[in-house]
Structure 1
């Protein structure tokens, strides 16, 4: 039983984080303990003191802490000390970032919209070279010369559909990695040493430029969002990763850009 009161059921968060490895949970623990300040309870739990850095041993404490940050402190007390569901957290973050969503949308679709918002903010700060690198990294061998001035939302959505989950995961990895470097001064531990790690690191600087504006926004929104937004972006990436694994694919074992290029080239002819 979690020492921090766990809100159940929470189907969008509990099953996912309970099956994650310690390395996959590591940045979430970093956001909660390093950015949570004095309001963080996780470090004071017996489970954390006993098992850290084997985070998978106390996944429920991590989940409960995230839920707690999603709720107003006074209302948490009124609820008997429990926080709010992950869906409530994601909807709250989306509203604050002015991302239009519906309450009954699939959680992965809402997370995808948040990723797009971060990439859109980053696009505004990128040079043409960085934009070209980003697009070619997502969809290699495209030969795009004329880059759109506006953020290519339609193109990226089409790429996600054509990529069968791989493109969506890579987008989430770019964003989660850039957030981790900006906030925790480290990358994503479980991809370290893989081709994906080298690939995503190439975009960290470009995406990081756009994150500067978002960090300022987080400060305005309040200290809880300095924890919640990075957590949501990391969880989005974990959801994409485990969805691929559940379908029989392991992106950690696939070279970046290894999926077929024909469909990508067709998409770029259509949207470039």
Structure 2
């Protein structure tokens, strides 16, 4: 079995990920266990077994990385690279180009992922009712006067940052996509209280978010894997970057010393 390409943007994220988050990626890769023509049956069996026991070894996490890399390149490119696929940054940029997301080649991976999320928010905003717009603003903790262009700009600025709004919208987007494609949502674990409101957003707002995808967006078999994987990985990265308050479980920016919600002193890395 081939090993994944060296890819810190992807592998470091998968190494620290929860079994619940990895399980979503496995379903995208394996078509919920139905299999794909380009997927090795032995690897699929190993991933489904790990998913069932809710425990992924280091080797199985690398299998996930390898399969995502393979889906990111076309057959000829993968053959020329001896089955190594393409690194996650190339996959992300390809998805961003496909979805017509603006970014700079020098941008960090998290900035490009946030650009994809901003694109989702902007496209969905145009289709939302005023009530849905206000509900989204409230859910993200974004303050704005009115529901016009200034409100959308405030949401975009919030998503481009780390912290509550960025994490919350990434979770909303990943939850909506998982519900649409897999028929189930995400598991939020210790932050379940914080994310409980997402179930309410998966009514009209959730349908609006998933409704921004066009037939062209998901026409290619590869994009049916890479687009939802990028959304899930963007959510996982926001969760990894956020510093969760030990008392109220609100995510804060990496630089925060006190919780933005309850004022509790946040533990340092040494603690």
Which range, TM-score by smaller chain? Answer: 0.7 to 0.9
Please report the TM-score for the alignment, with normalisation by the length of structure 2.
0.81
2:228 equivalent to 1:230: yes
Aligned equivalents of 1:164 and 1:136: distance in 2? 17
Aligned equivalents of 2:35 and 2:231: distance in 1? 20
Return closer, same or farther for 1:243/1:219 CA change in 2, 3 Å cut-off. closer
Aligned equivalents of 2:247 and 2:75: distance in 1? 39
* Structure 2 counterpart of 1:183: 181
Aligned equivalents of 1:169 and 1:60: distance in 2? 25
* Structure 2 counterpart of 1:218: 217
* Structure 2 counterpart of 1:268: none
* Structure 2 counterpart of 1:259: 260
**1:146-161 → structure 2 map (5 Å cutoff):** 146-148=146-148, 150=149, 152-160=151-159
Aligned equivalents of 2:134 and 2:192: distance in 1? 23
Aligned equivalents of 2:209 and 2:246: distance in 1? 26
* Structure 1 counterpart of 2:26: 29
Higher helix residue share: 1
Secondary structure, counterpart of 1:232 in structure 2: helix
Instruction: From 83, 86, 89, give the equivalent of 2:85.
Output: 83
Are 1:12 and 1:87, in contact at CA under 8 Å, matched by a contact in 2? yes
- Tell me the number of residue pairs that the alignment of Structure 1 and Structure 2 aligns: 250
Stretches of structure 2 that go unaligned for 5 or more consecutive residues are 253-258, 263-271
Please report the TM-score for the alignment, with normalisation by the length of structure 1.
0.81
Aligned equivalents of 1:213 and 1:117: distance in 2? 10
Aligned equivalents of 2:247 and 2:207: distance in 1? 23
Are 1:26 and 1:55, in contact at CA under 8 Å, matched by a contact in 2? no
Aligned equivalents of 1:107 and 1:123: distance in 2? 24
RMSD: 2.8
Aligned equivalents of 1:4 and 1:251: distance in 2? 41
Are 2:176 and 2:202, in contact at CA under 8 Å, matched by a contact in 1? yes
Are 1:180 and 1:186, in contact at CA under 8 Å, matched by a contact in 2? yes
Q: How many Å apart are 1:252 and its aligned residue?
A: 10
Return closer, same or farther for 1:83/1:155 CA change in 2, 3 Å cut-off. same
Return closer, same or farther for 1:210/1:241 CA change in 2, 3 Å cut-off. closer
Q: How many Å apart are 1:77 and its aligned residue?
A: 0.9
Per-residue deviation, residues 7-44 of structure 1 (Å, max 9, x unmatched): 1x211101110111211211111111116852352653
Name which structure has the greater RCO, CA cutoff 8 Å, separation 6+: 1
Aligned equivalents of 2:48 and 2:136: distance in 1? 41
Q: How many Å apart are 1:215 and its aligned residue?
A: 4.7
* Structure 1 counterpart of 2:56: 56
Instruction: From 15, 19, 42, give the equivalent of 2:16.
Output: 19
Instruction: From 98, 119, 125, give the equivalent of 2:100.
Output: 98
Return closer, same or farther for 1:192/1:39 CA change in 2, 3 Å cut-off. farther
Per-residue deviation, residues 232-253 of structure 1 (Å, max 9, x unmatched): 01101111111124xxx25895
Stretches of structure 1 that go unaligned for 5 or more consecutive residues are 262-272
